[in-house]
């Protein structure tokens, strides 16, 4: 059964709202990548921060008072009319919420625990619910007064891509008539220090697939879709998931799980590899991930495919990355992109001779003028968790 992506709200380092994000995405504008305010392991590192003013949560209970929920609300407010129309049509019990996250409100929780260590008591602003992984989904359900299924998924960097697949299953099973799905993650000291401890953070803007790549940049984002069975121009055509369990934090060097996820996605969408117009690479700019992904992509697409990584523009938004990068494909397919440009790949153009050569998108590259369009988005996570999604023209 086809699942249609009827509406999208998005906020990230590229901007607030569909128009601004599309404009800067297609221009390859990475100017939002700026130094994190505090040193990380003694170094200044660039991050993909959201700098616009976020909605206030002053009217909500303290348990919801996190930057994560503020960013989620900023995305949801963009599609408020579509959400309320769906609630009126289907009823609150027939609308589900599935959100992906990995940080949730851990920054607020960390500050509270630091206050306990410093002062001997927790600050009044602390609430245990801030750090619960279900917090974004609970917040949305409460705010919109929904009583349908509501839960969160946290599988590291595949969390929100998996949320879209889970939302489609709720529709396919007849449990829901509409699902609000996507992901949100915000910058926090714990994440930055953790990835730095793994020696995975670059002190420069990340450089995916370059011979000089040396690690990731962390970012923050929220991307929220309204998914229904009601026809819309853009659909979730298919998806694939695998778990190769190669290593807790390193990918399978042969890319077997990634290959399986991409091939599953193509099969479920009834799309051949040569029919994919564009591939949004996971493209973290770590040595191992890029090596694995380039091998996997070359295997699945022996004839090549136009591709790029958006992480030099947004940072790696972790639990929000799957939904955000699906959203970037949605924007490239939508009326927001009247030029039919593909998102360019930003790097230093220094090829790694040990990697299969990829067809990395350059400035001004456009989609084919005719035919049904389909785009793939890859997300790969710790533990060998792999997701590939295919979005495209509904007909």
Active-site entry in 12, 134, 157, 176: 157
Nearest residue to 225 (alpha-carbon basis) of 343, 86, 342, 121: 86
Secondary structure (3-state) at 97: strand
Nearest residue to 160 (alpha-carbon basis) of 394, 312, 3, 387: 387
What is the C-alpha separation between 384 and 200, in angstroms, rounded? 17
What is the C-alpha separation between 152 and 132, in angstroms, rounded? 10
What is the C-alpha separation between 250 and 289, in angstroms, rounded? 8
Q: Is 282 a catalytic residue?
A: yes
Q: Is 288 a catalytic residue?
A: no
What is the C-alpha separation between 177 and 93, in angstroms, rounded? 9
Q: Is 181 a catalytic residue?
A: no
Active-site entry in 16, 127, 130, 316: 316
Cα atoms found within 13 Å of the Cα of residue 173, Cβ hemisphere only? 12
Active-site entry in 64, 130, 282, 345: 282
| Residue 133 CB neighbours (<10 A) | 21
Contact 82, 227 (CB under 8 A): no
Q: Which residues are known catalytic residues?
A: 157, 282, 316
């Amino acid at each position: 059964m086809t699942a249609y992506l009827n509406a999208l709200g998005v906020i990230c380092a590229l901007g607030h709202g569909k128009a601004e994000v599309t404009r800067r995405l297609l221009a390859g504008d990475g100017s939002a990548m700026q130094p994190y305010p505090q040193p990380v392991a003694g170094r200044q590192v660039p991050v993909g921060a959201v700098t616009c003013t976020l909605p206030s949560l002053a009217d909500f209970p303290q348990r919801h008072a996190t930057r994560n929920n503020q960013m989620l609300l900023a995305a949801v407010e963009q599609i408020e009319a579509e959400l309320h129309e769906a609630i009126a049509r289907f009823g609150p019990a027939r609308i589900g919420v599935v959100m992906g996250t990995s940080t949730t409100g851990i920054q607020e929780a960390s500050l509270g625990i630091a206050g306990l260590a410093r002062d001997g008591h927790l600050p009044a602003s602390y609430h245990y619910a801030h750090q619960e992984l279900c917090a974004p989904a609970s917040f949305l359900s409460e705010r919109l007064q929904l009583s349908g299924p509501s839960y969160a998924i946290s599988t590291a960097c595949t969390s929100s891509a998996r949320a879209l697949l889970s939302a489609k299953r709720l529709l396919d099973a007849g449990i829901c008539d509409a699902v609000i799905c996507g992901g949100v993650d915000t910058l926090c000291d714990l994440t930055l220090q953790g990835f730095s401890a793994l020696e995975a953070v670059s002190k420069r803007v990340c450089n995916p697939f370059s011979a000089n790549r040396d690690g990731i940049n962390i970012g923050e984002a929220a991307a929220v879709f309204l998914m229904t069975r009601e026809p819309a121009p853009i659909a979730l055509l298919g998806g694939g998931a695998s778990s190769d369990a190669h290593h807790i934090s390193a990918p399978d060097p042969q890319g077997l799980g990634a290959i399986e996820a991409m091939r599953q996605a193509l099969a479920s969408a009834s799309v051949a590899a040569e029919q994919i117009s564009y591939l949004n690479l996971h493209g973290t700019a770590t040595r191992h991930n890029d090596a694995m992904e380039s091998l996997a992509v070359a295997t699945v697409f022996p004839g090549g495919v136009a591709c790029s990584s958006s992480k030099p523009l947004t940072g790696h938004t972790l639990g929000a990355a799957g939904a955000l990068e699906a959203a970037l494909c949605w924007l490239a397919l939508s009326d927001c992109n009247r030029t039919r440009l593909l998102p360019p790949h930003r790097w230093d153009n220094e090829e790694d001779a040990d990697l299969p050569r990829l067809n990395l998108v350059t400035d001004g590259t456009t989609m084919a003028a005719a035919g049904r369009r389909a785009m793939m988005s890859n997300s790969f996570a710790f533990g060998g968790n792999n997701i590939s999604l295919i979005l495209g023209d509904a007909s």
